[in-house]
Chain A
Amino acid sequence: MTGLPISYGIGLAALLFLMGFAGLVIRRNTLFILMCLEIMMNAAGLAFIVAGAQWQAADGNVMFILIITVAAAEAAIGLGLLLQLQKRFRTIDIDAASEMHG
């Protein structure tokens, strides 16, 4: 029996995605948070590619390209924010930027 069941590919994507999520919640360093976001987007991209391969369709790849675009935009803005955070608070601890004291 050749070939790969789709659930394997999606499972890998889910694992990667949840790792990214765990990192996002655990880390306080903004840089790591941004990296975790990249991991999560990558995982989402993997899911699209897997689905595209399952159906032999180009749509999955198109979505992946779209995700790369979003990731690039996000990285540019996120890193800009990171630099501003460093400049204003002298730290990249994301919790230091909490001023609401809810």
Chain B
Amino acid sequence: MEFTFFLAGIIALATTLRVITCANPVHALLYLIMSMLALAVDFYALGAAFAATLEVVVYAGAIMVLFLFVVMMLNLNNETVAREKSWMRPQLWTGPSIAAGLLLLAMIWALVTGSPASGRIVGTELSANEVGMALFGPYVVVVELSAFLLLAALAVAAHIGREDRDLAAEGAEHGERVTNHPGDH
């Protein structure tokens, strides 16, 4: 179980690193899916088989495919990749990386100095039955709220994504203005 956890964890870290450094969106997406699958393995190793299933089916399966759809709609090409590369100059990423590193140090410090729970994770399997009982027992309000959230997201997405002729015209104007004055930004 430890071995599986470490192996999948290393794979997840490596692929995630690729996601944030890769210039090609499609490649990055594929790395992200790999990272999620690796995480699913980790979940499984930790005994959360149901969560692992959900990770594969919903996250890697549904949400990532949605991303893929959008990438296809954006009609990306080599030019995009070149521009993406030009955006990744060292002076742009060193600062944030150092900040992230510092934060990591702080977290590790917290993990080391904090009083960790005694006992170790042995990876006892948690059945879907138990999760379901918890979900529709004490957490039923949270489930209802999630329903609200999803409905709201649906409405917002429908509103944002609608084809509006006036909006399109305005957008064209706007786009023109932006391209005319690139120095503005």
Q: Do chains A and B touch in the complex (CB under 8 A)?
A: yes
Whether B59 pairs with A71 at a CB distance below 8 angstroms is: yes
Contact digits for A33-54, partner B, Cβ 8 Å, 1 yes 0 no:
0111011001001100110111
- The B contact surface, by secondary structure, is helix
B-side interface size class? 35 or more
Closest-by-CB residue of B relative to A14 is B107
Q: Mark out the residues of chain B between 38 and 71 whose CB falls within 8 Å of any chain A CB in the assembled complex.
A: 39, 42-43, 46-48, 50-51, 54-55, 58-59, 62-63, 66-67, 70-71
Residues of chain A with a CB closer than 8 A to B112's CB? 7
Pair B107/A18 contact, Cβ less than 8 Å: yes
Report the Cα distance A79→B158, complex, angstroms: 11
Which of B's residues lie within 8 Å of A, judged by CB? 1-2, 5, 9, 12-13, 16-17, 19-20, 25, 28-29, 32, 35-36, 39, 42-43, 46-48, 50-51, 54-55, 58-59, 62-63, 66-67, 70-71, 73-74, 84, 87-88, 92-93, 96-97, 99-101, 103-104, 107-108, 111-112, 116-117, 119-124, 126, 130-131, 133-135, 139, 142, 146, 149-150, 152-154, 156-157, 160-161, 168, 170-171, 174-175, 178-179, 184-185
